[in-house]
Amino acid sequence: MEWPKIATTILAFLTAFLLPFFLSKRKKQAPKKIQEFSEHLLGMGVKFDELDKKNEPEKLGIKLSMGQKPEGLFALKDRNIDLILVFSVSSQYGVNYFIEYLVKSNFDLRKEPLRKTKMEKKKNSIFGKEVVDIVWKGDRYLSQRLNMDYEIKHKLMQAFSNKFKGGIVITPDPKHGYTRIKTNYSQVPHEVFGAIDSIARYIKSGI
């Protein structure tokens, strides 16, 4: 048997037996993670209503592809962030969790369409782990405003110094009227939550 055929057979075997295992594991982990996340929000003084995770994502235009599943949906009160979606992604390698902070957006306030914007971390060396600065790249106006906001930078740098990992990606969704701010799943530090809420304020202002 040729090696390509052997590799295909092995991959099919792993997919058939390991993927169901990870899906079963996700069923056990997800409720605990959502409970922990909701308690963490309450601990930060965030008021919210938990929404129907099965029907609401579809209504909001949240189309989750194969292997993805909404695990929790929260409608925030008195914040610039309107909704928080927690979802999981399964593959033969395991289950990963992500968070999307949804911000209602009026895209007609801008002359130019809002573009995808990412936070890039600068480290002390090529192989270094210490984050010494952050830079926003993507949309011209939003990046410029975020790069000039030293309060947001200070909050995020403080979180990185406390071992917070992950990135932030801002993606406009004009079709459904939201801008999505995506991060890896974590018990998000209050500094990061505050920074994201400030970013949401800029987005709502039409910058």
pLDDT at 16: 53
Strand order through the sheet with 178-184: 48-50, 68-76, 83-91, 94-104, 178-184, 169-173, 117-123, 131-137
Range of the domain at 120: 3-205
Residue 9, class by beta-carbon neighbours within 10 Å (0-12 exposed, 13-18 middle, 19+ buried)? exposed
Q: What is the pTM of this model?
A: 0.82
pLDDT at 186: 86
- The pLDDT tens digits for 28-82 are 678 889 999 999 999 999 999 999 877 676 667 766 666 778 899 999 999 999 9
pLDDT at 164: 78
Weakly modelled stretches of the chain, pLDDT under 50: 21-23, 25-26
What's the structural domain count of the chain? 1
